[in-house]
Amino acid sequence: MPTPKLTTWQLIAGSTALGLVIATGAVALAGPWDSGQRKAERDRAASRAPGGGAHHQAPARVKAPAPAPSAPGVLAVLGAPGNVPAGKSLSAVLDPLLSDPALGSVRTAAVIDTATGRQLYGSGADRPMTPASTVKLATTTAALSALGPDHRIATTVRASADGKHLTLVGGGDPTLSKDRLRALADDTVRVLRDRGVTSVSLSYDISLYSGPQIHPIGINDNIAPVVALMTDEGRVDGSDHGPAPRTGDPAGDTARTFAGMLKDRGVTADTDSAPAGAPAGSTPIARTNSDPLSALVERALTNSDNDLAEALARQTALAAGEPASFEGAGRAVKAELAKLQLPVEDAQFADGSGLDRNDRVTASLLARVLARAADPASPRLRPVLTGLPIAGFSGTLADRYTGSASGTGLVRAKTGTLTGVNTLAGTVVAADGRLLSFAFLASDTASPYTAQPALDRLATALATRKLS
């Protein structure tokens, strides 16, 4: 019997699923979480995590899970025989699951065939809803579209003509680490020594951003003050993701830390207590760059990183000539998505992270954002897909989809959680080989512990049933 020929999209889907199997070992230990939003969730995680889990961290794993749960899906994609249930219409499969009382009083859904762009299923798909952290899909897509995956965010040191006054200039990089700040100090001192300078005054410049620094939710462990200069996202407990205590002055703290690093290297630095712009005539003498935007997007989505999401929204605003504020970023994100011909007419982007309940998007928009990221004609958007957590393995889905016959390893999705709001949007390789994008949004939910499994069952149905 001749070997059946596979279409291009089947091969792509097969490669995607197989790639998940290969990738699981590398990502299984990552274990970030949805920066969410609910003290009860953090307390529950703390009680379950082996090491205390004080920051709602996904359970630690001794070793990477075996890829066996993904094998049936991979075989199905490649045309091998498998135990696949008989075909059903999407409505017959999803309608009963979507009516689960655990999903609250309002629930909407959209499913799209990424190969054709055709919406295969919709239930209230055009109704604007509070998306919680799934709004990060829109934020990161807009940033990649506006700036490209190779864009980096710079933090610079400028010096006056005589070299005796330095200005640490924030470029909006919340991922600036102490190690990179030390390297910046090394480069700065090298230049100063060449000029014979051993004593300087140091100021810092955060004028790149405008508007309120405090997120509308107020002072909160889920996000630091949104300023253009900070180190390690303003965290004061040594953590690198998830809810954590934050400094109230991330820019000032960074400048003072930098001054101490200069002193350790033989250059005395008197630090101004208030931010100020660089003097006229100053020139850059040292610089440190963030990782490429592609890596920042993946981190923002896998970790549900609120600080990074807000920074990417402001980078989009700067690219669009808008003020780098909550309002300016919201306008820029919406305008950039409109350029991609995505349905943003009724969308509202009050922030970039999804912590603001005034955000409004539709299930159709989120599903189409993902379908556009899967489009072969949009390679610059691909990090939106590669950054999605993998069910049962990584990120905010590390401790979900762990039951038998689930979508473990086959579903990749961004989670969203606010009190009374639970959402899930991502991609899945269906049993017939199609790569589908989906979005499920629910509001007025009573508990995330019942709503999240209900959402997971919806995505699992797409992965494990043959659909007509």
Rounded CA-CA distance 173/137 in Å is 19
Phi, psi of 39 (to 5 degrees): -60, -35
Catalytic residue, candidates 133, 353, 406, 443:
133
Three-state SS string across 312-327, please?
A: HHHHHHHHHCCCCCHH
CA torsion sign, 187 to 191 to 197 to 202? negative
Rounded CA-CA distance 334/247 in Å is 31
User: Can you read off the two tokens belonging to residue 280?
Assistant: 């006229």
CA–CA distances in Å: residue 365 to residues 65, 301, 316, 379, 458 = 33, 17, 19, 19, 18
- Interacting residues of 22 by C-beta distance below 8 A, sequence separation 6+: none
Is 133 annotated in the active site? Answer: yes
The residue to which tokens 């939003």 are assigned: 37
Phi, psi of 199 (to 5 degrees): -145, 130
Q: Do 413 and 459 meet the contact criterion of CB atoms below 8 Å apart?
A: yes
Closest CA to 115 of 5, 16, 4, 3: 16
Reported as type and span, the H/E element at residue 268 is strand 268-271
The residue to which tokens 């199905």 are assigned: 76
Is 99 annotated in the active site? Answer: no
Catalytic residue, candidates 304, 353, 406, 443:
304
Closest CA to 296 of 182, 145, 153, 170: 153
Q: Do 449 and 390 meet the contact criterion of CB atoms below 8 Å apart?
A: no
Is 70 annotated in the active site? Answer: no
Rounded CA-CA distance 408/81 in Å is 20
- Interacting residues of 466 by C-beta distance below 8 A, sequence separation 6+: 84, 85, 86, 87, 88, 430, 431, 432
Catalytic residue, candidates 35, 70, 136, 353:
136
| Residues annotated catalytic, as ranges | 133, 136, 304
